[in-house]
Amino acid sequence: MDERQRQTPYLDAVSAYARRNPARLHVPGHKGGQGADPGLLEAIGEAALSMDVPALTHGIDVGVDPTPFEEAQRLAAEAWGARRAWFLINGASQGNLAAGLALAHKGRAVVVQRNAHSSTIDSLVLSGMRPTFAAPELDAELGIAHCLAPETLAAALQATPEAVGAWVVSPTYFGAVADIRGLAEVAHARGVPLIVDEAWGAHMAFSDELPEHALSAGADLVISSTHKIVGSLTQSAMLHFGHGAVELIGEDTVDRAVTLTESTSPNSLLLASLDAARSQAAVHGSELLARTIATLAQAREEIRAIEGLDVLDDRLAGRPGVFAYDPLRLAIDVRGVAANGYELAPLLREVGDINLELYGENVLVAVFGMGERELGEAARLVEAMREAVRRVGLEPEGRKASFAAAPPWGELAMTPREAYLGAQEVVPAARAVGRIAAESLATYPPGIPNVLPGERLSAETLAYIQDTLEQGGSVRGASDRLLHTVRVVVE
Ligand SMILES: Cc1ncc(COP(=O)(O)O)c(C=O)c1O
């Protein structure tokens, strides 16, 4: 570990400003706490409020070069092995928005993994890019989508010779990690950058026990939701630019796009938390992660020992679309008990105040952080699962059956941007067949969008979504969650 990584220049500069009791003749109006509502002051404390310092403060992000802010971003780039890193204050969502806007300087066609996060689709709306979607590998048994296989990316790029980039997700919510080396090779062979939404994998750079992280495997632009597992404050994230990316995507265009997508008043607490989380990850990450990984391995064993339950783990590696497994979440397969994930999640809240990150029909996902509090949470989860299964009993037929694959997505009749901004109307679902959607419809399970803005709606797709709803699933993105109506483009 580089000794420099112990430094936290931005955190130190903001703390020093707060301590020296400056005349704060600038925003924010709470003036370091004195002007704050007493309830807020009591709840979050004067220490936090005094560190809430605006941008363009001398000695923090302006003044002698490199400023503490520049130095903090430089240390982050070194920690992740990037050529450059940007601190983001609007989450990994901002990273996706900026990535699309930067790519659009090169052209308008892009290959995108179909089950990308909604912020990637929003980026297509903002940038006006025309996507060619590539299907991730589907796990019909578990009812979830894994990652994109390199062959699938190769075929999509072949079909889109004008593409200026390839955009994939790894790891998934469920811990599947893509073959980034393979994907990077495919993208680079066609002269385009590989953008990886690694929102769920910021921690992977800090332990040899974990799969290789995307930058190290050859990705060019990596979106990293530092707040998720590494533990900076909610809404803070980073965007990393790879050493080999200069030929493929403009560093300056990424910089402009980051500026365009952020507030002119970035929150200093968020930025300081990024600086601190980076230092903690670089200095102590390996040891903290080793502890978390060991405790989660034990929790997995205990959950597997409960009749009716199984867990997702590195046995998944090698299945289509799963190159490796990231164990930093505990994904529980509940197909063997007489309740689905939607029913179990509230029961777990009732039984043990267990609040999960995500739940679907067949799988519950508990997320663990890099520096868990001695992992008491894992033991609580195991205990509550035991009690929940005792209450609901076992599935009489053994494991629940696998689910039917969704029909193919419709023809892209216009770009997501044209559909989003164009004239639109709301029509009964029965009259939406053949119309162009102005909104996304994504059924859970497995969460892959069935319809995106700009795509033509088919009778099969609408029937499939209705069927999923009737079986207790849900649809995300729809303005009418029961899908009695759909928002479509006026043609
Ligand atoms: C794959 C993926 N990308 C991006 C995001 C957006 O991250 P954030 O909430 O930090 O904006 C998420 C959020 O869950 C995600 O799962």
31-67 pLDDT tens trace: 999 999 999 999 999 999 999 999 999 999 999 999 9
Question: In the predicted model, is pLDDT for residue 403 greater than 80?
Answer: no
Question: Tens of pLDDT along 217-231?
Answer: 999 999 999 999 999
- CA-nearest residue for atom 9, ligand 1, is 91
Strand stretches in 198-271, DSSP E: 221-224, 237-241
Question: In the predicted model, is pLDDT for residue 160 greater than 70?
Answer: yes
Question: Tens of pLDDT along 319-376?
Answer: 999 999 999 999 999 999 999 998 999 999 999 999 999 888 889 999 999 876 666 8
The pick from 120, 177, 225, 448 for probing ligand 1's pocket by mutation, whose C-beta has the most ligand atoms within 8 angstroms, reads 225
Question: In the predicted model, is pLDDT for residue 398 greater than 80?
Answer: no
Same CATH topology for 286-392 and 416-489: the answer is: no
Mean pLDDT of the chain: 94
The domain spans of the chain are 286-392, 416-489
pLDDT, residue 402, reads 64
The pick from 87, 94, 96, 119 for probing ligand 1's pocket by mutation, whose C-beta has the most ligand atoms within 8 angstroms, reads 119
Percent of the chain with pLDDT strictly greater than 90: 87
Mean pLDDT throughout 161-178? Answer: 97
Cα of 197 vs centre of ligand 1, distance in Å, is: 8
Measured torsion, CA atoms of residues 359, 113, 202, 364, in degrees rounded to the nearest 10: 10
Cα of 125 vs centre of ligand 1, distance in Å, is: 17
The fold for domain 416-489 equals Ornithine Decarboxylase; Chain A, domain 4 (3.90.100)
CB neighbour class for 284 (10 Å; exposed up to 12, middle 13-18, buried from 19): middle
Cα of 163 vs centre of ligand 1, distance in Å, is: 24
Ligand 1 surroundings by CB, under 6 angstroms: 91-93, 96, 117, 119, 169, 197, 199, 225, 237
Cα of 173 vs centre of ligand 1, distance in Å, is: 10
pLDDT, residue 226, reads 95
Percent of the chain with pLDDT strictly greater than 70: 97
Cα of 34 vs centre of ligand 1, distance in Å, is: 35
| DSSP symbols for 132-143 | EEEPPPEETTTT
Q: Which residues of 286-324 are buried (b: 16+ CB within 10 A; e: fewer)?
A: eebbeebbebbeebbebbeebebbbbbbeebeeeebbbb
pTM of the shown model: 0.96
> Is domain 286-392 annotated with CATH 3.30.390.10?
no
Report which ligand 1 atom has the smallest distance to the Cα of 90.
11
Question: In the predicted model, is pLDDT for residue 216 greater than 70?
Answer: yes
pLDDT, residue 55, reads 96
pLDDT, residue 344, reads 96
